[in-house]
Structure 1
Amino acid sequence: MSKITPCLWYESEAEEAANFYVSLVPDSRILHVQRNPVDAPGGKAGTVLLVEFILGGGRFTALNGGMKFEYTHAISLQIDCKDQAEVDHLWDGLSAGGSTEQCGWLKDRYGVSWQIVPSMLAKLLSDPDPARSQRVMTEMLSQIKPDIAALEAAHRG
C-alpha cells in the first residue's frame, strides 16, 4: 500500500523547523537528515537538503528548496488536544514568533498553518440539541485560542 508523507517546503530552515516541531509535539523525533551531495537550488554541497521526521506519530519531510513560498490556509496541520494544558502548551509554542487567528488557527514562525483543536469539540458541536450546538459554535467563533471551559459552559447553557 502507498504511504503519504506531507513534505513541508522551506527556503533554508528545514532542519530548524523540524527540530522546533519535534520539541513541542509528543510522539515526535527526527529520523534522518539528508545533506546535499552537490550544489543544488536548495543549498551548497554539504548543507541540509531534507529532514525526515515523525510528528505526533505521523511521518513528515521538511525540504530546503532554496526559494521562499508562502503557505496558505488551503492546507494546515490539525492537532487534536486532550485537555487545556495541551492546548496551552502547543498554542504558546507554535504561535511564538508567528501569528494567531480565530477559532484555534495560527501560523507558526515559518508560516505553516496549524489548527489547535480540543478533542471534545466535535462531540459538543454534534449535540443533537441544536440550541446546545449553536451555543458552542458561537463561543468557538468568539475565541482565538481554544478555551475548553468556556466551550463546555456554552454547551451547558
Structure 2
Amino acid sequence: MGEVIGQLLPTAVGVALSPLPIVGVILMLLSAKARVNGPAFLIGWLAGLAIVVGLIVAFVDPDRLNKDGGDPTTLDGLLHLVLGILLLLLAVKQWKSRPNKGEEAKMPSWMAKMQDASPIFAVGMGAFLSGLNPKNLIFDIAAGAAIAAGSLTSSQQIVAAL
C-alpha cells in the first residue's frame, strides 16, 4: 500500500495546487454566503474526486495493468504516456490562448458568479473543478489507475483514495 501512496503523491499535489479551485475558494470565502458555500464547495470537491477515481478503480482491471510479478504492463505505460501527452497539449492550448501583451485577461463567468453563489452552485462548482476540469480529470484518472493497479483490498483502496 505504501508504494501506491507514493505513486499518488505527485497527482495529489497536482490537484491540490491547481490555481482555479484556489481562486474559486478565495472568491467564495470573501462572499456574503461564505459560511454556507465553503462547506458546500468542499462537499462538491470531494464528491467529484470520489466519483472519477471510484469509476476508474471500479472499471479498470488490475490484471491488465500489472504483470505476474507486479511490474507495470505496456498498457500501464501507455496510459501514463497518453495522460502526459494530454497534459502537454493542454499546456500548449492554454499558452496559445493567453492574452496578448498589454491586454487584460477576461475573468471567467463562473468566477463572477462565485460572489453571489447559492450552495447548490458551490457544490456543482466543487464537483466540476475537481472531477471534470481537464487538468484535474487527467490527474484523477492517473490516481484511479494507480489505485487499481495496486492490487489492494477494498478498504485499502478507499484509504488510498482519501
Higher-RCO chain (CA-CA 8 Å, sequence separation at least 6): 2
TM surpasses 0.5? no
| TM-score, with length taken from structure 2 | 0.24
Point out the structure with the larger helix share: 2
| TM-score, with length taken from structure 1 | 0.24
